[in-house]
Amino acid sequence: MRFEKHCWAEIDLDALAANFRRIRSRAGGPVCAVVKADGYGHGALAVADALHAAGCAAFAVSCLAEARQLRDHGVNEPILILGYTEPDFADELAALDITQTLFSAEYGAALSAAAAAAGCTVACHLKADTGMGRIGFALRTDFEAAIREMETCFSLPGIRITGIFQHFAAADSTDRADVAYTADQYAQFARGVARLRADGFDPGRTHCANSAAQLTHPEWRCGLVRAGIILYGLAPSPQVSDPLLCPALRLKALVTQVKWLQPGQSVSYGRTFTAGQPVRAATVSVGYADGYPRLLSGRGVMTVRGRAAPVLGRVCMDQAVLDVTAIPDVQPGDEVLVFGPGAAPGADTVKTAAEKAGTIGYEIACGIARRVPRVYRQGGGPVFWYDLLRQQKYVWEGPRPPAGTDQPAAHTADQEKEGTES
């Protein structure tokens, strides 16, 4: 199958593996890879394959559909559903050996009844709410009541408790109040686990550290760490980051037409840009339907021929226009780095694109559309790609660059330093 260059995402599997090794080295123990939201936009199946090869201990997803996708693909590692599953699907959870989050006595009773009716047993991890305020046994609200509710779950028919976890609300902040809140969340969790054990209930595997907590408090690793955004080389927040992580994702498109705008001529919907002098404009095959935020209208900066090219006017559904006046010899068919590692000075990475759009890197990565094929690179060149609309994987048939070329500088730096980290 020939690959059509239009708008596509490139994912560096070497960067992903390097990030995983760094995370596991810091944790000093097993890592659960969070691959919900299609691997944060990177492609859950390819990510799972790469992390399986790297020695990943388990995977976490948001829902049964995502867990089912991994099992159908042949993933055999433990899979934890972090959110809600209808109790009526207890039989499928058991048949696929998927661990379900158990977050309240009411939900536990409903899941137990469904499992008992189906004659099966569902493995569950208890979810303690220590201050996130979403799902979970509310330790912060009423510690004793939450402990009693958790302990009743151990005797529910059709339920097997195999773990316990919680989630930090502000571990990605260095604000003094947030740091104190995060420490209190950990203390609440540790107290809850200790109390269950003292009462004779073994909660199994414990885990509390999300990506941000792994960077700020590696000592909180418990029996497992859950690596999410840092697996993909992106920072949990501007305040909490690791410069040695390797961003794995680049969004690319093509120049489709180049023309001169004369003074007084405008660009795109709403005529928000009008040329005051001659401007050489390049139309690019990417828009907000591909995952390039409309909020970057007149603010985004892409990379063309190694140089920064500002977005002119409003981003359209399928196209955008760049100012390439200062970039010689731009032609239709030129590749454009929309955002990602390797961006020219002044051009956008995922981080800067998110900041300009008033959001976070998570949303930028997760927002890349299904119509955008994912091209996977390894050893310096593309090796396969996924057409998500056709739900097909194809071996790369085009030319590959020599090994070691076209690699982001951050990736090289990470590989050099990987072996020195304790």
CA 55 vs CA 19, 51, 181, 291, 419: distances in Å = 12, 6, 33, 31, 17
pTM of the model: 0.92
Helix axis angle, 409-418 to 13-27, nearest 10°: 40
pLDDT at 321: 98
CA dihedral 400, 405, 408, 409 (to 10 degrees): 170
- Residue 355: Cβ-neighbour burial (10 angstroms; 0-12, 13-18, 19+): middle
Question: How far is it, in rounded angstroms, from Cα 16 to Cα 248?
Answer: 6
Q: What is the spatial distance between Cα 172 and Cα 169, in angstroms, rounded to a whole number?
A: 8
Catalytic residue among 5, 127, 252, 269: 269
* The pLDDT value given to residue 399: 65
Q: Is the CATH number of domain 249-413 2.40.37.10? A: yes
Question: 85-89 long-range contacts, Cβ below 8 Å, gap at least 24?
Answer: 87/111, 87/113, 87/114, 88/114, 89/64, 89/114
**200 φ, ψ (degrees, to nearest 5):** 90, 15
CA separation, residue 415 to residues 20, 246, 410, 412 (Å): 12, 9, 9, 5
Per-residue confidence (pLDDT) for residue 2, from 0 to 100: 87
Give the Cα separation of 161 and 205 in Å (integer). Answer: 9
Equal CATH topology for 13-231 and 249-413: no
Tens digit of each residue's pLDDT, the chain (422 residues): 889 999 999 999 999 999 999 999 999 999 999 999 999 999 999 999 999 999 999 999 999 999 999 999 999 999 999 999 999 999 999 999 999 999 999 999 999 999 999 999 999 999 999 999 999 999 999 999 999 999 999 999 999 999 999 999 999 999 999 999 999 999 999 999 999 999 999 999 999 999 999 999 999 999 999 999 999 999 999 999 999 999 999 999 999 999 999 999 999 999 999 999 999 999 999 999 999 999 999 999 999 999 999 999 999 999 999 999 999 999 999 999 999 999 999 999 999 999 999 999 999 999 999 999 999 999 989 999 999 999 999 999 876 654 444 444 333 333 333 332 22
Catalytic: 36? yes
In contact, 102 and 124? CB cutoff 8 Å: yes
- With b for 16 or more beta-carbon neighbours within 10 A and e for fewer, the 220-259 pattern comes to bbbebbbbbbbbbbbbbbeebbbebbbbbbbbbbbbeebe
The sign one gets for the Cα dihedral 252, 258, 260, 265 is negative
Contacts of 358 (CB under 8 A, 6+ apart): 295
Q: Which pLDDT score is estimated for 417?
A: 32
Beta bridge partners of 395: 384
Beta carbons within 8 Å of 368's beta carbon, 6+ residues apart? 9, 41, 249, 251, 290, 291
How far is Cα 411 from Cα 291, in angstroms, rounded to an integer? 24
Q: How far apart are CA 255 and CA 316, in angstroms?
A: 15
For 13-231, CATH gives 3.20.20.10
The residues spanned by each domain of the chain are 13-231, 249-413
Q: What is the pLDDT of residue 301?
A: 98
Q: Which residue among the candidates 5, 36, 288, 386 is catalytic per the annotation?
A: 36
